[in-house]
Amino acid sequence: MSGDPAQRFAAIVGSSHALTKADQMAAYISDTRGRYQGSARMVLRPGSVEEVSAILHLASETGTPIIPQGGNTGLVAGGLPLREGEGREIIVSLSRMNRILEVDTDTNTMTVEAGAVLQTIQQAADEANRLYPLSLGAQGSCQIGGTISTNAGGTGVLAYGNTRDLVMGLEAVLPSGAVWNGLSRLRKDNTGYDLKHLFIGGEGTLGIVTKAVLKLFPKPRGRDVAMVGLSSPRAALDLFNAARSMAGNALTAFELMVDTAMEFTLLHAQNKPRRPLAAQHPWYVLLEVSSGRLADDARLLIEDILSSALERGLIADATIAESGQQRANFWALREDMSWAQKPEGASIKHDISVPVGAIPDFIEEADAAVLAITPGARIVNFGHMGDGNLHYNISQPIGWTAQQHFDREPDINEAVYALIAKYGGSISAEHGIGQMKRDRLAASKDATALAMMRQIKTALDPGNIMNPGKVIWPEEPANRA
Ligand code: ZN
């Protein structure tokens, strides 16, 4: 078959689902943080796995680069056209393939299409008296396929693991157009390479995830949340260890927040939140305890944790949410931190992890290094302390322009990532690599690991059509044109 490739692609999905006009494509080619803006040839919105297969088959035949995209809420520009791209790429949006296909309460699984929105999945689990524990700021618009392709983390990781731990099976379309049916519902299946893990966190570089079997969990009967004020990350680490040893797996969240992050949120959040504790503190922890047996268990446990921490002098103040509304308000303070930095100007962002025990030393050294480079920088540090994961963000000094701030970004990044290397941490804890951290990955990851990654990429995607230039280049940088 011949003809203009653009028309052939459009014919697969039908012209009404092939977007080519600039205004139609605008939402698909830029990121929410406003740091990336690309151009694409078209956006295709397939309605079935057969259409996805036909798109990739044609893309292989014509050497057309394909960018899979979910809710476009990613933070490393992994689902966007390449910065150095020339408008040749075709975005494949999974948003029409959004059905929940089956909830199996005996096996405790849910089978979904890749475009289903995370919050819809959470609600469907809830209606079946189950829990799908993945929880993150973008849950109202991010799609499950995107969370799988980026191995999303969020606030439920401490108790339930990353997305990698929540997926039982997958269906994916390979660059050739071949469809892999790996929709297993087996808790045990020890039959060689576990292929789903290539696509989980693969950021669309090996194929397109089209369906998934997710693990469901019992819904907690009780859930209590406390906001704690304390003096230092060291005190927070001591509190974490105490809470963990008292609550075990019932400790379902432990989020650390610096004062600056809290003040930005109190200032900018739209619902004008109240200060959670009577006084201001240098650091805060949001601590959540859940219980499976009786609702009261969580309450007794969290009271025990806090009263013994007060006795030991680990914490300065604490308050337990007295209602579902107050619980939601505490969580909103934490969740609103991501965007509450925006009104404060330009922000240099890091999504990093270090071993949990290294967090106090890392913060002390990183803060000193950043302030030596940019005196007056406002460090907005918060994150999932229980997972060793910090969103170590730096807002511009008051009175600076964004450009002045970003001029020092390379120096600040070098300083932060040198400490990450020192402490055996990761340059990307939960956001992925995309195009933002691709070169840093190449510079920092073990050489043998990079070689294996390239071999896998080349084996599955010999034409390099799947999200090219994201995560990893197929050749050594020296061989690249
Ligand atoms: Zn996070």
| 182-238 pLDDT, tens digit each | 999 999 999 999 999 999 999 999 999 999 999 999 999 999 999 999 999 999 999
Residue ranges in the chain whose pLDDT is less than 50:
479-481
- Residue 450 C-alpha to ligand 1 middle, in angstroms? 26
H/E stretch holding 367 reads helix 359-373
Q: Return d(Cα 174, Cα 334) in angstroms, integer.
A: 39
Q: Where are the domains of the chain?
A: 5-93, 100-218, 222-336, 341-422, 438-479
Are residues 212 and 169 in contact, defined by beta-carbon separation less than 8 angstroms?
Answer: yes
**CATH placement of domain 222-336:** 3.30.70.2190
- Residue 430 C-alpha to ligand 1 middle, in angstroms? 7
The residue written with tokens 């396929």 in the block is 145
- Residue 154 C-alpha to ligand 1 middle, in angstroms? 5
pLDDT at 339: 86
pLDDT at 2: 57
- Of 410, 370, 431, give the one whose Cα is nearest residue 77: 431
Q: To 10 degrees, what angle do helices 324-335 and 259-268 make? A: 110
Q: Which residues contact 464 (CB under 8 A, 6 or more apart)?
A: 65, 457, 458, 474
Q: CB atoms < 10 A from the CB of 445, how many?
A: 15
- Residue 392 C-alpha to ligand 1 middle, in angstroms? 10
Q: Return d(Cα 10, Cα 244) in angstroms, integer.
A: 54
Asked, colleague to colleague, whether 100-218 and 222-336 share their fold, the answer is no
Q: Return d(Cα 214, Cα 132) in angstroms, integer.
A: 8
- Residue 46 C-alpha to ligand 1 middle, in angstroms? 30
- Residue 48 C-alpha to ligand 1 middle, in angstroms? 32
- Residue 158 C-alpha to ligand 1 middle, in angstroms? 12
- Of 219, 196, 218, give the one whose Cα is nearest residue 209: 196
DSSP 128-194: TTEE---B-TTTTT-BHHHHHHTT--BTTHHHH--GGGTEEEEEEE-TTSPEEEE----S---SS--
Are residues 170 and 212 in contact, defined by beta-carbon separation less than 8 angstroms?
Answer: yes
- Residue 333 C-alpha to ligand 1 middle, in angstroms? 14
Residue 220 carries which DSSP code? P
Q: Which residues contact 351 (CB under 8 A, 6 or more apart)?
A: 75, 389, 391, 392, 428, 429, 430, 431
Are residues 163 and 147 in contact, defined by beta-carbon separation less than 8 angstroms?
Answer: yes
- Residue 180 C-alpha to ligand 1 middle, in angstroms? 31
**CATH placement of domain 341-422:** 3.30.70.2740
- Residue 358 C-alpha to ligand 1 middle, in angstroms? 18
Does the pTM exceed 0.85? yes
Q: Which residues contact 324 (CB under 8 A, 6 or more apart)?
A: none
pLDDT at 293: 85
Q: Return d(Cα 453, Cα 172) in angstroms, integer.
A: 19
CATH class name, domain 5-93 = alpha beta
pLDDT at 84: 76
- Residue 153 C-alpha to ligand 1 middle, in angstroms? 7
Strand positions, DSSP E, 355-448 = 378-384, 389-395
The share of the chain scoring above pLDDT 90, in percent, equals 90
pLDDT at 481: 42
348 forms bridges with which residues in the sheet? 394
CATH number for the 100-218 domain, one of 3.40.50.10900, 3.30.465.10, 3.90.950.10, 3.90.480.20? 3.30.465.10
Q: Return d(Cα 446, Cα 465) in angstroms, integer.
A: 25
- Residue 462 C-alpha to ligand 1 middle, in angstroms? 34
Q: Return d(Cα 251, Cα 245) in angstroms, integer.
A: 9
pLDDT at 37: 85
pLDDT at 425: 97
pLDDT tens string 308-362: 999 999 999 999 999 999 999 999 999 999 889 999 999 999 999 999 999 999 9
Q: How far is CA 66 from the centre of its chain?
A: 22
